[in-house]
Amino acid sequence: MSEEEKLLNDLKLSTPSPPEDPPPPLPLLIAKHTKYLARSLTVMPSHASSFDTSRMTIAFFGLCGLDILGRSDLIAEQKDRAVEWIKRLYVTSTDGRIAGFHGGTFLRSDETKSHLHSDAHCGHIAMTYTALACLKAMGVAPEDLEFDNAALLRGVRALQRPDGSFNSSLEGGEHDMRFVFCAAAVCRMLSDEECCIGMDVDAACDYVLSSISYDGGIGQGPMQEAHGGSTYCAVATLALTRRLDKTLGPHRFRRLCRWCVNRLQDGFCGRPNKPGDTCYTFWVGATLKLLRPFEQVEDFIAGSTSFVLETQDSVIGGLSKWVDNTPDPLHTYLGLGGLALAGYEGLADFDPALNVTKRPLIQSTVSWKVLPRQWYLHALCTNH
């Protein structure tokens, strides 16, 4: 039996059979979710105030969610303000050598700037990732703004630890698979095609290998329980660094695919013996899409569609973790992302490795900074 036949055989035995007579799925309430995400960009409930230091992630769910729905046009009037806000959160070390992004103005404003020890506040890698993704969702390339991409990549590299994992910020903080993924995604969004400038790729791949659990899934770090979120971060890192096949090999690949396939109950769950949860339609669905163990992987991910649609709030819009729960921007975004990966009609083509749409950037082909002055004036006058 060939390796591929063995895998298919193995997955077939492990796959739960779909219900015999499934009820017709609810429609996706696109107009409601559009309103919900647009509203999340302007007002949030008071209990979300604790997210103030990571407000960039809320912007990410809102802006990138509207992009999945094909409704980025709704923020056309606010776009300049949004880009200015993101630019304000760009920070560099005192010598300008490294750079990153903050998650909100709580930590940095023109008034408080002098109170910060700049070198220790060069941003947070998850905020740098979400800032670049927000710009992409608005069709803005980092090259079109006055960011120092080389300093941003040095900022990523400065966070890598000897074991290959990444700290969240220069001050230290947490270090696990989430930030390895953010590092690889930032590298790729800054055109570091194999991530070799922003990271020691061999060390990062070794960290992924050392985090594979006894059951074939991948944890946040060595000796930790495998989980849908950390498994996605690890596999997406291998895909972004173009090391997927080389690092996993056929045996680990087979065990990993089996672990993912077995996460589908009514919806996808994050760990064995846990109930389904909307966000894992993306975390596990995207992992399977990157691994592509069989041709009909989209149909398999679509097995969670009814569950995801049941979690929609038909009054205020948005999706929640479970049926009859309060919707939130994270589950709305990841639920829509999972449906997009399954090929749900009306949603944008989605990139499973970067967790953003594949919509191309409206990118300048030349840098404004190097244009001769007369070119610049000509461009302005002719409205190019």
293 vs 329 by CB, closer to Zn ion: 329
128 vs 320 by CB, closer to Zn ion: 320
> What span, in angstroms and rounded, lies between the C-alpha atoms of 358 and 265?
29
The interface with Zn ion within residues 99-158 (CB under 5 A) comprises: none
Contacts of 140 (CB under 8 A, 6+ apart): 83, 361, 362
104 vs 228 by CB, closer to Zn ion: 228
Min CB(330)–Zn ion separation in Å: 7
Element at 311 (helix H, strand E)? none
Contacts of 37 (CB under 8 A, 6+ apart): 61, 62, 65, 66, 69, 317, 318, 329, 332, 333
Residue 293's Cβ-side half-sphere holds a number of Cα atoms within 13 Å equal to 30
* CB of 304 closer than 8 Å to CB of 267: yes
* CB of 160 closer than 8 Å to CB of 204: yes
* CB of 308 closer than 8 Å to CB of 332: no
255 vs 321 by CB, closer to Zn ion: 321
* Token representation of residue 114: 């002098």
Min CB(320)–Zn ion separation in Å: 9
With binding defined as CB under 5 A, does residue 188 bind Zn ion? no
Number of residues that bind Zn ion (CB under 5 A): 3
Give the interface segment with Zn ion, choosing from 223-231, 238-246, 278-286, 302-310 (CB under 5 A).
278-286
Give the interface segment with Zn ion, choosing from 34-42, 45-53, 210-218, 274-282 (CB under 5 A).
274-282
With binding defined as CB under 5 A, does residue 328 bind Zn ion? no
With binding defined as CB under 5 A, does residue 321 bind Zn ion? yes
Q: Do the bridges between strand 172-176 and strand 166-169 make them parallel or antiparallel, or are there none, so unpaired?
A: antiparallel
Give the interface segment with Zn ion, choosing from 108-116, 207-215, 319-327, 365-373 (CB under 5 A).
319-327
With binding defined as CB under 5 A, does residue 277 bind Zn ion? yes
Min CB(349)–Zn ion separation in Å: 24
With binding defined as CB under 5 A, does residue 269 bind Zn ion? no
Binding residues (CB under 5 A) for Zn ion: these are 277, 279, 321
